[in-house]
Amino acid sequence: MKRPPFDPNRARGDKFAEGLFDPTPVRRASEGEPIAPSDAPQVPSAPAPSTATSRPAPNEVTVGQFSQMITRTLEEGLRGNFRIKGEIANLSVRNHIYFTLKDAEAVLSCAMWSSDAARLNFRPREGDAVVATGKIGHYAPQGKTQLYVSRLEPQGMGDLQARFEALVKELRALGYFEDARKKPMPAMPRRVAVVTSATGAALQDVLKTARTRCPAVEILVVDVRVQGDGAASEVARALKALDRRRDELALDAVIVTRGGGSREDLWAFNERVVADAAFAMHIPLVAAIGHEVDTSIIELVADLRASTPTQAAMLLLPDLVELRARHERLGRDLRNAMRWSIQSRRDRLAALASRPELASPALRLSRERERTLALAARMRHALLGRASSRRATLDGLSERLRRVSPASRASAARASLDALGPRLSRAVLQRLAAESTTLAHLGRRLRSAGPEETIRRGYAVVTDANGQLVRTVGGIAAGDDLAIRVADGTIAARVAATRISESTEE
């Protein structure tokens, strides 16, 4: 299918995402709204303020003074230690221990000093359910209200961690994480879809990396919720729509990403509906959710996991600088190899041409034929000369016979003829025998120099389909038809393969 023309507006993701799927409007969860646990001590509510006409103007205070007011209010309103149960998140262990205590309704920042942490009889882990005992306080330098934990007791695995591990176990049994089913990444992608929040920093990291590494790759942005209610269903619908329209959109791969956050912030990517959509994808999927230490279900199902959005783009998109360098290197190596190959074959051809034993058999045969014809002409000339000489002698004798009396001349001529006849016959026969011997000798030499004698000794003359002599394997290829002349006939053959001899002798 022909790729649609590149549209910058579609690449931004605004119009494209609107037409890709129709997400049902879902109310976003309010971010940062404090929710007091049901078992937390209640702080008496302040009296309702009076109307503006009877209320005195508030005093102006500094930030530090107001922080002190918050601290005093917390110390006076929430005195003593509290035992709060929840699940550990955002755990950071240094000399001191910092973490977030959370449940389904709220989160609470916690700090545990090293002197108290040294008394722990277990090692806290992300997702553990614990009971924290401590005092509430306000940390003015960061404007943070937090629980200063003096004692931490384990309760077992937290609800989110238990759900995560149960789903991992179920999907592993179904083969969702098998390496054999994971698709390879395209070597040269031309269009990539990015499923993420259009306002998040993760998208900017991907676009920046794409512009730096390979600006020719088109990026289609699909704007979805990445946390809160309805986020999992939006991500799943986006993946299904992209996979369904993969040919129409000419997609080569999909990136699903978002920035870091707590376990509950990333939980949309641990839902079964998202795992099923990722598993059913027919095009390669790259997942980069949270930070390097975070692991989500979609990352285990995806064909490739990246630790950050930037790394996802780097793993999927080729580096333009590296491609250019590789192209130049391959071109240089190819030119050098061609030069070496041509020069090597020229040297070999020159060496073969200088060998006398590789001279053309047809040329040698032509030279021997010319020599034989010259010898035959000389022999005919000698025989004609000898016959002419004998005829002249005979004519002289006949003239002498005419000068004498007819009877004596006839008698002398008859006697001379009788004497010369046998001599002439013997001379002619001797000459003919000598010339025949010479001719036979020359014929044997000619036959020994010709191809017929060589063929009788077990050799053969090979010609191609055009009747040309085959001297080297360089002139033929597999599948060519050949004619092989042997002592008693000609064999038709077809080349199956060729092999160049490594020896320096023919």
Q: How far is CA 442 from CA 286, 374, 456, in A?
A: 87, 11, 19
**Minimal CA–CA distance to 189: which of 254, 144, 241, 272?**
254
pLDDT at site 2: 45
Q: In what order do the strands lie in the sheet with 191-196?
A: 218-223, 191-196, 253-258, 285-289, 304-305
Instruction: Using only the alpha carbons of the chain, give its radius of gyration.
Output: 53
DSSP, residue by residue, 103-138: -SS-EEEEEE-HHHHTT-SS---TTEEEEEEEEEEE
Residue with tokens 């040297």: 347
Per-residue pLDDT tens over the stretch 285-331: 999 987 776 788 899 999 999 988 999 888 888 888 787 877 888 88
pLDDT at site 251: 92
How far is 444 from 231, CA to CA, in rounded Å?
Answer: 102
pLDDT at site 57: 54
How far is 363 from 366, CA to CA, in rounded Å?
Answer: 5
Q: What is the pTM of this model?
A: 0.45
Which stretches of the chain drop beneath a pLDDT of 50? 1-19, 21-54, 504-506
pLDDT at site 1: 42
How far is 287 from 195, CA to CA, in rounded Å?
Answer: 10
Q: What domains, with CATH codes, occur in the chain? A: 8-23+164-318 (3.40.50.10550), 78-157 (2.40.50.140), 356-449 (no CATH), 452-506 (no CATH)
pLDDT at site 355: 66
